[in-house]
Amino acid sequence: MEKLKNLLRPLFFVAFSIVTVWTYIVPDAKGFQYPAMARIFFWHFPCSILLLAFMFTGIYFSFRVFKRVDRGFTSVESAIEKMQWDSRAEAAMELGFIWAILTMVTGILFSLVQWGAWWQWDPRQTSFLIALLIYGGYFALRNSFPDPEKRAHFSGAYCLASALPIFFLVLVYPRLPQVQAVSFHPTNTIMQGQLKGQYGYVTITMLVLMSILSVWLYRLRTRVVLHEIALDYKNGNLEISGRSATPSGVVRPVSVPDENESATERN
């Protein structure tokens, strides 16, 4: 298995390099002010899809923080399970935040080149900016709670509360007829079959490769955090809501001052 992984990693990077070169050699798209620069789309589109995918994944993992599954766990084991789901939610939100920033950067670049201004207050642009602010609110709230269990609860609830505005902002508002009429940003490009030929193939391939990269990064991130939790639990360093989560059967070392030494110090 390890050998297969070692083989797949270089293969992935070779494939990514080939597709990156492919993005430069496809014929220019028609209907743009600077057709050569329309290639930003190959990077912009997968970033926006992954942003949404990770945001909804984060919302699902936050939901799992609160979902009660009766597995006969003790309260400490349940708390640890919650922390594990919370770590997964955090990892998904972190990756979503990175993709949100990349979406904004590539979108701004596209706007500057094709529409003549770096920021248009276009409804779609602004929707993604608000999504970025919601990510900011999530991390601000997380950092305000030092206790891991409270952090999991409060940030999870905020993540769930953000589902409604995110759904509205990204999937409903930009598709309203009155908004579409004034927006520069196209909608339903793929669903209406506007991406044809090599442009379509490059876009889909790039989306697949970036998704693989995201999943790989996500797995690395969660593996580190889950190992940290397991190690803290094993060593008796894990504290949940102010109480120790030391596993049963483990004796914690206690330093007892030597009576003779104490007497000497007193004298």
Which residue lies nearer to another protein by CB, 22 or 173? 173
CB atoms within 10 A of CB 257: 8
Q: How far apart are CA 55 and CA 135, in angstroms?
A: 9
Rounded-to-5 percentages of helix, strand, coil across the chain: 75, 0, 25
Backbone φ and ψ of 248, nearest 5°: -65, 145
Tell me whether residue 133 or residue 190 sits nearer to another protein (CB atom).
133
Shortest distance (Å) from residue 136 CB to another protein:
7
Round to whole Å and give the CA distance between 182 and 236: 59
Q: Are 89 and 249 in contact (CB under 8 A)?
A: no
Of 67 and 71, the one with the shorter C-beta distance to another protein is 67
Decide whether 56 or 158 has the Cβ nearer to another protein. 158
Q: How far is the CB of 63 from another protein (least distance, A)?
A: 10
> Token pair for residue 204?
């889909």
Cβ within 8 Å of residue 235, ≥6 positions away: none
**At closest approach, how far in Å is the CB of 262 from another protein?**
39
CA 199 – CA 179 distance, rounded (Å):
27
Q: At what angle do helices 148-161 and 75-110 cross, to 10 degrees?
A: 50
Work out how close the CB of 160 gets to another protein at its nearest, in angstroms, rounded to a whole number: 6
The least CB distance from residue 158 to another protein, in Å, is 6
Query: Which is nearer to another protein, 141 or 207 (by Cβ)?
Result: 141
Is 214 in contact with 20 (CB distance < 8 Å)? no
Interface residues with another protein (CB under 8 A) are 66, 130, 133-134, 136-138, 140-141, 144-145, 149-150, 153-154, 156-158, 160-162, 164-165, 168-169, 173, 176, 178
Least CB distance from residue 10 to another protein, whole Å? 41
d(CA 193, CA 210): 22
What minimum distance in Å lies between the beta carbon of 138 and another protein? 8
DSSP H helices in 67-196: 75-110, 123-142, 148-161, 163-166, 177-182
Which residue intervals of 40-74 are DSSP H helices?
A: 41-66
Report the residue number, 137 or 247, with the smaller CB distance to another protein: 137
The residue among 24 and 73 lying less far from another protein, judged by its C-beta, is: 73
